[in-house]
Chains A and B, each alone.
Chain A
Amino acid sequence: MAKKLMKGCEAIAEAAIRAGCKFFFGYPITPQNDIPEHMAARLPQIGGCFLQAESEVAAINMVYGAAGAGARVMTSSSSCGISLKMEGITFIAGAELPCVIVNMMRGGPGLGSIQASQGDYFQATKGGGHGDYHMIVLAPASVQEASDIMQRAFDLADIYRTPVMLLADGIIGQMMEPVEFHEQESKRELPEKLWATTGWTPDSCRKRAVVNSLYITNEELDTLNQRLQSRYREIQKNEVTVEEYNTENAEFILCAYGTIARICKSAITLLAGEGVKAGLIRPITLWPFPSDTVKKAAEQESVKALLTVEISSGQMLEDVRLAVNGRKETAFLGRPGSYLPSAEEIAQTVLRMRRMHS
């Protein structure tokens, strides 16, 4: 198929439709409005349903309902809107339902700003809502990757019966790049949705399906939590994805995701010009976090230190530190949204670290 010139938001919406998403419920917020806008234009064309809800809370509960009925369903929002959806998300996790949620991050806390940020890493990867649950969190770094990842997002949601979040900074949503929609070659085998509330009759040869996240007895809730935890372990074992760039025998390892990871690659080129070998670890799944990759890279004798770079104030840094576990220095460079660290700034930071290590 010929390439198209698309915004990240448009590409995500179009890729979701190609992945079989037929239902979208959302509420507007900058910088992700192009997602609902594209869905509003396209879903009616394919016999799907777009609905602008009266609020984020309403939208996520519509997602809850559609997911319970076994539909491929999605919602999107940005930072403060995602906070509003959090109750619904933990209910969806508790009811073991698949859905996809896009968070096109803007500045925070509070209403924050409409400029790009990565300030919701903690919220996405460490819960956000209450209870012992996780979401799978995917973090694309380009418009092409954002579109490629949607099929996987919906498949993972169905396979593990869990909400999946696509977490990107506003730049990914707003920037335009040429995109090609690939036919999905390795579509994974998906389990049948026997739990879906599709209408029960006395002659249905199955149990009545009930969507629920309330467990009255200790035993029942414990069983749910054990099941969830064992599923999370399976996800951690099978679904980690990460890009390693130039890490072998590197002196310094940069850790970054999303837009800032691309800027890190430019910094690595600048550093090569200075005779410094630096590499990049770019988590594509933020949860499960690629701890083993970080650990192994850090264990290399050549590595003097790691530098985590974020458009936030040191959130992914905590996961990097847990993985490195004190084996090497783990430095940090970040801007809390609105501004981006430049490639020069990142390179200068590494050069300063190098002087301290020599």
Chain B
Amino acid sequence: MTKKIYVFIGNYGSGKTELSLNIAMQSAGVCKTVLVDLDIINPYFRSSERRDMLEGMGVKLISPNFAMTNVDVPSLPPEVHSVFTGAYETVVFDVGGDAAGAVALGQYKRYFDNVPKTNLEVLFVINPRRPLSETPEMALDLLENIKSKSRLDITGLVNNSNLSMETSADDLLDGFEMVKSVSNKTMIPVSYTAGRQDVLNEFLKIAEEKGLDRNYIGKPFPIRTYMHRDWDSFLAHGI
């Protein structure tokens, strides 16, 4: 059995939770999957809100001790350690935003160090539509900061440029330029370009026409929207 560990880090609001849920849901039913909600930043709108959905699909969810309660204490359960040694085949870490969120990872360094490099993907998610991460310089600054706080080496970049439900191929094209620039400066490869299927297809078509370098696109990662991102699904799910 190979264990594959995905760690999503990045700017606050870059889409880490959505990507984490997508990896977990894709892997559910195929192999034994666990999602670790390591977000010590967000009071609402977090992966733990989708516990029923995840558990319904057989995904184990590990949440901070007081997630979804009225207590705002960022305390992590000892259970997190079990994902490194237990029988899980897919492990997904949904980490809180910015360097402040990445701090939660630091304490697991000695466990991550024992994971073979080929089995670990530490993915830095980039969304240039978010404030304070609009330029490659800002993204680089954040990347260095998060890297030092998380005590992990970043293995790949993810272009997840989006405006929530209003996302278009133009957003991913801007994201392409951004990850290209960050990749060239850091020598970190672009692992994925993520987006809703229709938007992603449109982007790939334009990329093909324009002859954009596929090295900066990486693997296309079509996603479904599990967290509510628009008002209608907000009403359907509540907070």
Please list the residues of chain A having a beta carbon within 8 angstroms of any beta carbon in chain B.
2-7, 10, 14, 30-31, 38, 41-42, 107, 112-116, 170-171, 174-178, 262-263, 266, 338-340, 342-343
Contacts and interface: CB of A to CB of B under 8 A. Distances in A.
B94 to A, nearest CB: 16
B45 A174 contact: yes
A31 B163 contact: no
Contacts of A115: 44, 70, 239
B235 interface: yes
Task: State which size class the interface on B falls in.
Answer: 20 to 34
B3 interface: no
Contacts of B134: 4
A5 B44 contact: no
Contacts of B229: 176
Given A30-B72, A41-B132, A107-B70, A174 B238 contact: no
A175 B70 contact: no
A5 B13 contact: yes
B234 A31 contact: no
Contacts, number: 71
B131 interface: yes
Nearest to B132: A41
A351 B44 CA distance: 32
Contacts of A30: 43, 72
Contacts of A114: 43, 70, 72
Interface in B124-158: 127, 129-132, 134
B235 A175 contact: no
A5 B97 CA distance: 15
Contacts of A5: 13, 127, 129-130, 162-164
Given A113-B70, A170-B44, A178-B164, A343 B239 contact: no
A24 to B, nearest CB: 16
Nearest to A267: B235
Contacts of B129: 2-5, 178
B209 interface: no
B193 to A, nearest CB: 17
Given A5-B129, A14-B131, A31-B44, A176 B238 contact: no
Interface in B107-135: 127, 129-132, 134
Given A6-B131, A171-B239, 17 more contacts: A2-B129, A3-B129, A3-B163, A4-B129, A4-B130, A5-B13, A5-B130, A113-B70, A114-B72, A115-B70, A116-B239, A175-B234, A176-B45, A266-B235, A338-B70, A339-B238, A342-B235
A343 B231 CA distance: 12
A340 B163 contact: no
Contacts of A2: 129
Interface in B18-55: 42-45
Nearest to A142: B231
